[in-house]
Structure 1
Amino acid sequence: MSSVPDITLNNGVTMPQLGFGVFQVPEEETEAAVTTALEAGYRSIDTAAVYGNEAGVGRAVAASGLRREELFVTTKLWNEQQGYDSALAAFDASLSRLGLDYVDLYLIHWPTPARDRYPDTWRAFEKLLADGRVRAIGVSNFQPAHLQRLIDHFGVVPAVNQIELHPGLQQKELREFHARHGIVTEAWSPLAQGALLTEETITRIAERHGRTPAQVVLRWHLQLGNVVIPKSVTPERIRQNIEVFDFALSDEDIDAITALDRGMRTGPDPDTFN
């Protein structure tokens, strides 16, 4: 079983560098997928209120027999629930669906700049952190200007920014901002929803290492220092995606994959998505 290294967040909490994402996994398939992941050695599970599958995650966690402190559970606040009071109520609802006493990481899902509610939402997040109901707080899809506003006006710097990130969209400027401010970069859609797995550069490197293209891309992320949360409902792929800690890419491999950057978004633009 693969041993996943931990990343230390800016408040001293540690999270596994590789976790299991359940975006677009139907509720009725979530419990089985998460159970497979936990059996394969994953200890970090990433869900969100809008995914509609928090309850499935909770059932798998409850049935796993693992101690709660062995697991790292992330969920996210959806856009319509932003605001101070509504965020606190939404957190209670997420916690109830998950069947947990606390979550390890709670994220604002999108900045939705036209609504301009994320500063009030962040106040609620700081309260949840101070009350011990979450171990760390962060954001998702925030751009440098959104992050700077939180840093300038609040006491707690986001521990994590979860962003679309893969070889086709590498977000160098945003990652450099994170590094300067002690914010961990977490990649959603780390495989570009499979769009890059037939790229000749990646397939050639995979062949040379005797690995799958997905394993090569995940290894690229890990060597850059990103946290990754690949998603699959296929047991074999779930297992393959965690078997990435017993090989390393060369500097030449890293450079070749880094050359694939072309600003290719598979999801919305955070500056205009409201």
Structure 2
Amino acid sequence: MAFSMQACGSPGEETSKPGISSATPMMVTATAGLVSIEAQNAPLGAVLTEFGQRTQIAFLIPEAMKSESVTLSFQRRPVEEVLQQVLLGKFYAVEYRQDGAKKVIARVDLSVPQGPMVSRASAGSPFSSVPTANGSSVRSAPTSTGNLGTARTDLELAQVEHSLRESQEPAARIAALNGIAHRETSEAVNPIIAQALSDRAPEVREAALDMLKYSLDPVPIPALAAMASKDANPAFRVEAMILMMDQLAKDEPSQEDRDTVLSLLNRGLTDPDPAVREFATMQLVDK
């Protein structure tokens, strides 16, 4: 089923409803967990209300936010991905419900304030705090208010991993990364973020690399080595090598990891990019 806000009627007849203009067409459909939205300068409140009706998600929307104009176009995308993009730049909280063997979104509250309440939600209220990406460059350092959320369970990590594999839009995959980049510990997170080092989109690889730079927990050396040897961007290859050397310095690497790094540095001596060759040479001289 679909809902259209495009008014119809005979010429000269008043066809628009209060707060809804005939110039704001919108259509929302949802089938088997996949959502399609077409909206042009439509009120955000109306979009979310129809989104909720199609997906059985209850939205709590502040009055001031309902009249915001949005233009959206999604075709058969997962609910979580569409939600992340529709609410990009906003703070909100998500409540889940059990649906058989999986958890699904039951309620989204956009009335949560930025700041203390968000922190309390992360600390253990029924809501998972989900402050969205702030729209800044993907190279900006992670901050406490610039992430998409705080994934606290194995199920949420699995959902993020699924988004990284299945989401078609690079922005959605970056949002998924942001959703797990601010856990109290990165031990379970870094291996998932490291998977994005081989993402097909350079902006996703760059975002993953930046997130791993700020982690105090181990980063998988094989993933870094793969990026350092195969990435098409020489700057990324150098950054991956730098991070890889940092891992050797602060951890107790296995002999296998040491051999991997040494082999990579030797291959770097013949890299087509001079910056990569220079870095590899410097590291081997230091040894």
Q: Structure 1 length normalisation: TM-score?
A: 0.23
Instruction: Pick the structure with greater CA Rg.
Output: 2
Name the structure, 1 or 2, with higher relative contact order (CA <8 Å, separation 6+).
1
Q: Structure 2 length normalisation: TM-score?
A: 0.23
